Amino acid sequence: MGELGGEAEVKNIQDLADLSQSAVMRSALSLEDEGFLEISRESRDEIFITDEGREYLKDSLPERKLLEVLAEEEFLVIDSLSENVDIPEEKIGISIGWLKRKGWAEVDTREGEKILRITEDGLRALDDKEKDELLLEKFEEVESLFSDQVPSDLEAEISTLASRNLIRIRSRPSHGLNLTEKGKKALDFDLEAEEKVSVLSKELIRTGKWREVELRDYNVTASGPSLHPGKEHPQRRMIEELRSILLRMGFKEIGGPVVESEFWNFDALFQAQNHPAREIHDTLSLSKPERAKILDEDLVERVKRAHEQGVAGSEGWGYEFDEDVSRRTVLRSQTTADTVRHLAQNPDPPVKVFCIDKVFRRERIDYQHLAEFPQAEGIVMAPDLNFRHMLGYLKQILIEIGIPKIRFRPGYFPYTEPSAEADGYFPELDEWIELLGAGMFRPELLNPLGIDHPVLAWGIGFSRLAMIRMGIEDMRDLHNNDIDWLRKQPLR
C-alpha cells in the first residue's frame, strides 16, 4: 500500500504482491479491524465486447462498408444492395437504418425504385470515424473495460453499442483500499510480520505449541458466506402451494391438451361463434394441425341446437352454427375447456376437480399482459348446490392462501349466471385487488352435456397474486432470468 501511495484496488495489490484475491481480502479485513486500513465497497460496470462486436472491429461496421461503396456511386438501388455490397442479406436493413440514423445517406425514389444517396455528412464521415467506432477500437487489445475507463466524450456510445449487442455490460463488486492516518504512521516503523493462527489444530494442541502462538481475533459481526441452494421459482412455489390446498380440500386434479379445438375452447362453453373473444386478436390459431377430430357427433349436435335454438327456456344465440369452425384448432385460451370436457365425460355427481395449467392469448406483451401464463380453474357438481356454497368455497380457498379479508362483487362471464368476483385486501398496499372470478354454469352449457345438477366454477389468475407477493410491478419480471433477484426471493 505504501508503494501505491496509500490508495489501491484489490486487483492492484494482487498483481503487485502476486497474491490471490482471497489472500488480499483476508489481510485487508484484518488491517481494517485494527484501524490501519479502510475498505470502500462499491460496484463498477465492466464492459465486454461480444463476438459480433469483435467481428465488426476486425472488418468495420456494416454501415461503414455500405457508405464506402455508396461513395463510389451516384446512388444504389435498395432492392439490389446484396449484389453490390459485401454484407450479409440479413444485415442490409440494419445497415440502411444506421446510415439514415447517422445522417450519412438518404432514401429517395428514382424511376419507381427506392434508392440510397450519400449526404454531405456521409462524405465527411469517410475521413472521420464516429464515436461508436472509436469506442469499439478501445477493445483492440483487451476483452473488457470498466465504464470509468471510457473517455467522457465516448460514454454516450456505451448504450448505443449495447443496444446493437456489440458489447455487454456486467456490474461487478469493487473494493478500494485506503490507508488511515494510523496506517500511514505505521509505515515509518520497521514492522515485523507476526503470524497469527486462525485454526487451532490437533497438532498445535498435541505439541503444546498453542501456548506460543497468537490466535487470530474473530469478527463476530462480519457477514457469513452467502449460500445459494437450489430452490423453486417463486411462481412455481405458489402453484404448488395452491395445488396442496385444493387437494387438502378434497379436490381431484385433472388436465387437458395445450392444442384445443374451438368446440371445447368455446362452443361447449356456450360462447357464440361470432363472439369477440374468438377473433384472431385474442386467440392463437394453428395452421398445423388446422382441424381437430371431434369424436362425439351427438354432443356436437346438442351444442349446436343450444346455440341456434336455445335450451332450458333460452332462445340461444339465433345464428347458424358452423361445425367446421368447431373443428378449428387453437392454443388453449382458458382451462375451462378442460373442466367442461371432464363434466361431459363424468355427468353424474359428485364431481369436485381442479386444473392448473398454462393458457395462451394473443396479447401485446407489456407490464400488465403476457401471451402465456398459468391459470387455475375448479368446478364442483352436487345435488342442491347453490350460490352461497360457491361463495363459501371461494372464501375458504382465499383464507388458505393467506388472504383473510375478502369481499364479493357481482360479475359477468359468458357461461355462468349468477356470477361473482372476489377481491382480497392487502394491508401493505392498502388496496382491494381482484383475485377470483366465479359463477354457476348456465343451463345452456350443462343441458347439452347431459347434466341435470348445479355446477359451480371458479378461476384464479396467478400472475397478479404473484406480483403482489413478490413486490414487483411488471408482470414480465415473473419470467426474467435475473439470478440475483431469484436468489433473494424468500422461502415461504
Binding-site residue set for L-phenylalanine: 336, 415, 441
Residue 91 makes CB contacts below 8 A (sequence gap 6+) with: 62
Residues annotated within the binding site for Mg(2+) are 417
Whether the CB-CB separation of 74 and 42 falls below 8 Å is answered with no
* Residue among 138, 135, 120, 145 nearest 44 (CA): 145
Query: Virtual CA dihedral for 473, 475, 479, 483, nearest 10 degrees?
Result: 0
Alpha helix locations (H) across 154-313? Answer: 157-163, 181-186, 202-207, 234-248, 262-265, 297-308
Q: What's the residue count for the chain?
A: 492
Question: Would you state the cell numbers that stand for residue 369, as one nine-digit string?
Answer: 399482459
Q: Give the Cα separation of 284 and 278 in Å (integer).
A: 9
Annotated binding site: 336, 415, 417, 441
The residue type at 94: I
DSSP notation for 417-456: EEEEEEEEEETTTTEEEEEEEEEEEPHHHHGGGT--S-EE
Handedness of CA 476, 477, 483, 487 (dihedral sign): negative
* Strand, coil or helix: 55: helix
The residues that bridge with 374 in the sheet, in sequence order, are: 358
